[in-house]
Structure 1
Amino acid sequence: MSHPQNDSSAAPEGSANALDTRLAQAGYQAPGSFESLVAPIHHASTVVFPNLAEMRARNWERDDVYTYGLHGTPTTRELEDRLADIEGGRHCVLAPSGLAAISMIDFAFLKTGDELLLPHNVYLPNRELARTLLADLGIVARHYDPLDAAALSLLITPRTRLVWLESPGSVTMEVADLRGLVAVVAAANARRPAAERIVTALDNTWGAGLALKPFELGIDVSMQALTKYQSGGSDVLMGAAITRDQALHLRLKTSHMRTGLGVGADDAWLVLRGLKSLPLRYAAHDRGARALAHWLAARPEVARVLHPALPSCPGHEFWLRDFSGAGGLFSVVFDARYGTAQVERFVEALKLFPLGYSWGGASSLSMIYPPSRTGTLSEKGAVVRFNVGLEAPDDLIADVAQALAQLG
């Protein structure tokens, strides 16, 4: 027999609703006097509206209203605003990874019959996206030398709609002549109608929005893999496309919405937390990497150090002109007398540089690449890329020294 006086679902005094209803309908609003140094996490797939008129008045294209969790919550908007501020942009759209952000940019500005141009040293997944999925959609990709702006001008055709830039290359580390490349695209745009404008998009992950300010160079869109320095914890996948142009931003938002590239609030909050220490961490990565790079430059086992801040790196003069820092990522080319097996033995002997493809986190990493002629490199030795984390530089140098001793 039921005893209403003991029924936990009974409504409290002053309420006409049962417990199930109260739980299902519960919302939250922060007390008016509550303030914190930490951005709140807003979990929401569904956004509710106070009335039909308000629902109909809200447009997902606007950044100052909320319509559905996929299109933004206060947490994701806060992160977008801060990322735009770092780079000197006005608008930002988040994506679930750096590659997702690249895809979002491609789909925003390309259609069947269009062409895009990629640098020889482009991030490999970007190249493969163009070679496979974009090609299947009837989009043609061609490649150019990032150090030769004049050569880029010869590749632009009436069908060119997007030019990807990357500086430096993510493995071979060439620093592009960004000013020269942007000037070539600007000259081409001056000869065509606005509807056929070529968009420039830069993979600015290496500079983290700190060491290079793309919009000051006239670049249209800056792509960031927030997985790297912005997160800093090697535990989040996320990307972003940042711009100053409202029309380009709307095309990016449309691409984002139509492909459903949502970002969870918890991941957005983790990146927000990482941003507070971003400049300090980036500077520490830079100091450690330069210390190791200078030490390696004097080693007989190394044919070339590919660190943008060193004169031995292709495009070093462009780094001096355009960049204010260098971060923790660089590569070295081993002397050709060491075969691939020997260099593999070297990387496996490293104790503080585990093998890993990502970078930008507190822990150092390494990765080996076969002898390469990609981009401007012609050396025949194997390439090892180092991500220098936040460990003591002397410890990292000692670790590399003991591994070099095992080359044979």
Structure 2
Amino acid sequence: MPFTANRDFKHNPRLFVKAEGVYYTTADGQEILDGTSGLWCSNAGHCRISIVDAIKKQSAILDFAPSFQIGSPLSFEFAERLIHMKEGFSHVFFTNSGSESVDTALKIALAYQYSRGSGTRTKFIARERSYHGVNFGGISIGGIAANRKQFNNLLNGVYHICDTHNIKHNAYSKGEPEWGIHLADDLERLVVLHDPSTIAAVIVEPLAGSTGVLIPPKGYLSRLREICDVHDILLIFDEVITGFGRLGTAFASDYFAVRPDIFTTAKGITNGTVPMGAVFCRNGIYEAFMDAPESAIELFHGYTCSGHPLACAAGLATIELYQNEGLFTRSAELAHYFQEAVHSLKGSRYVVDIRNLGMVAGIELESVHNKPTVRALEAFKQCYNKGLLVRATGDTIALSPPLIIEKNQIDFIVDVISMVLRNIS
């Protein structure tokens, strides 16, 4: 099982057999409130009928179409719908997951530099304590040691700037921390050290989720953009988690008013119903590949299921649902209530920090001596037993509930966590 203590799980399996709205149902009939949107993906809640119907209908019309030298109208329709969500971005490349989106973005960046005559630009700069999926590109640029240590043959030419997490200066910040914009200048240090003419791209998560919900300091992302502009380096945002309403806007780049050159998406693009991802490219990147004979393949990359008809049908229905129900606006409107509710846990047993932005929060716990992750995992299990699904990442409890959640359900999340923190060891 992925990212699972398999032997521990099989002693006491946790199995979901049904989902509806913000609730899962277990194999023994218990209702579990979904405090994590599945895995950061079911932003509109579960089993939404309009999405289900779109998938059913499409499966009876065109179940699969090859994507090499052949297309289906739905993939072009969905691509058109997506680029209208983001001004200045002219093309998307479809993938099947966030991990594939990241590797695709890295390959597009390398190929773009080659196509425009900058073939010396082959290096990447990423950030410590970052998560960019599990393919070889993603774990090479990722900054979580445990995800890397079992695998030796990673990409060369990858360097990491320091992370932004600092409890001493920013503990219990509500929203973007005031301290830390200067940390972006670590990028300037690495650029100068390795020569900007050798660097293809910088990649960061606007808000780092799976590494423990790390919120960027005010002005930090803008400073990264400035440094990349000075040195003509591509800036890639990994928006697999933050895309599609998590911060109250379509994308995190909208929230922070910082435009990347390329950004990755997945998860919420289909509300988690059918695996899919999309890599967005700003105007000018696609065109750089087109200086070739018309019959030539411009980008030697793709997947069997790129732009899969069922995924496109699910995606179109998902975007329609987001817009019809105003879920991005609802997310923004709920964010303050969610913030105050989560920060009410300050002073609870073992809590050393609480971080939040939009509809995402992290509650960091004091680690058990010489046993990192144990306390948060125990909290995860006890929350589950009390009818709440949370995410344990390191020693942080991560929350990212569906955007349709009600205030009384947010209260339930906080009440259960408070109860659990009083009882865990």
- Same structural fold, with TM-score higher than 0.5 when normalized by the shorter chain: yes
SS at match of 2:85: helix
Between the aligned partners of 2:102 and 2:300, the Cα distance in structure 1 is 11
Between the aligned partners of 2:301 and 2:252, the Cα distance in structure 1 is 29
Q: How far off is 1:258 after superposition? A: 5.0
Contact conserved, 2:208 with 2:215, CA < 8 A, in 1?
A: yes
Contact conserved, 1:222 with 1:243, CA < 8 A, in 2?
A: yes
In structure 1, stretches of 5+ residues that fail to align are 1-36, 48-59, 61-66, 190-197, 309-325, 355-363, 371-381
Of structures 1 and 2, the one with the larger relative CO (CA 8 A, separation 6+) is: 2
2:265 to 184, 206, 224: 224
TM-score, reference length from structure 2: 0.61
SS at match of 1:123: coil
SS at match of 1:92: strand
Q: What residue identity is the alignment partner of 1:299?
A: S
Larger radius of gyration: 1
Deviations 1:250-298 (A, max 9, x none): 6599447455562311121112111123263445556274254222235
Q: What residue identity is the alignment partner of 2:225?
A: V
Between the aligned partners of 1:146 and 1:184, the Cα distance in structure 2 is 17
State yes or no: 1:333 paired with 2:332: no
State yes or no: 1:174 paired with 2:215: yes
Deviations 1:301-355 (A, max 9, x none): 31100213xxxxxxxxxxxxxxxxx13x32111135786544432211113898x
Map residues 134-283 of structure 1 onto 2, 5 A cutoff: 139-145=156-162, 147=164, 148-156=183-191, 157=195, 158-170=197-209, 171-172=211-212, 173-175=214-216, 177-189=220-232, 198-208=233-243, 210-213=250-253, 217-225=258-266, 227=267, 229-232=268-271, 234-248=272-286, 251=289, 254-255=298-299, 257-258=301-302, 260=304, 262-278=306-322, 280-283=326-329
Contact conserved, 1:243 with 1:249, CA < 8 A, in 2?
A: no
Contact conserved, 1:231 with 1:270, CA < 8 A, in 2?
A: yes
Deviations 1:183-229 (A, max 9, x none): 1011112xxxxxxxx2211112343252533595342112112x2x3
Map residues 9-408 of structure 1 onto 2, 5 A cutoff: 41=58, 43=62, 45=65, 67-69=69-71, 73-88=72-87, 89-110=89-110, 114-125=122-133, 127-130=138-141, 139-145=156-162, 147=164, 148-156=183-191, 157=195, 158-170=197-209, 171-172=211-212, 173-175=214-216, 177-189=220-232, 198-208=233-243, 210-213=250-253, 217-225=258-266, 227=267, 229-232=268-271, 234-248=272-286, 251=289, 254-255=298-299, 257-258=301-302, 260=304, 262-278=306-322, 280-284=326-330, 287=334, 289-308=338-357, 326-327=358-359, 329-336=360-367, 340-351=373-384, 365-370=389-394, 382-389=395-402, 390-391=404-405, 392-408=409-425
SS at match of 2:384: coil
Q: What residue identity is the alignment partner of 1:142?
A: Y
Between the aligned partners of 1:349 and 1:249, the Cα distance in structure 2 is 53
Between the aligned partners of 1:153 and 1:79, the Cα distance in structure 2 is 38
Using a 3 Å threshold, how does the CA distance of structure 1 residues 178 and 119 change in structure 2: closer, same or farther?
A: same
Q: How far off is 1:402 after superposition? A: 2.6
TM-score, reference length from structure 1: 0.63
Between the aligned partners of 2:338 and 2:376, the Cα distance in structure 1 is 20
In structure 2, stretches of 5+ residues that fail to align are 1-52, 112-118, 143-147, 165-182, 245-249, 291-296
Contact conserved, 1:365 with 1:387, CA < 8 A, in 2?
A: no
Contact conserved, 2:225 with 2:235, CA < 8 A, in 1?
A: yes
Contact conserved, 2:92 with 2:279, CA < 8 A, in 1?
A: yes
Give the paired residue count: 301
Between the aligned partners of 2:156 and 2:287, the Cα distance in structure 1 is 22
Sequence identity percentage: 12
Contact conserved, 2:239 with 2:265, CA < 8 A, in 1?
A: yes
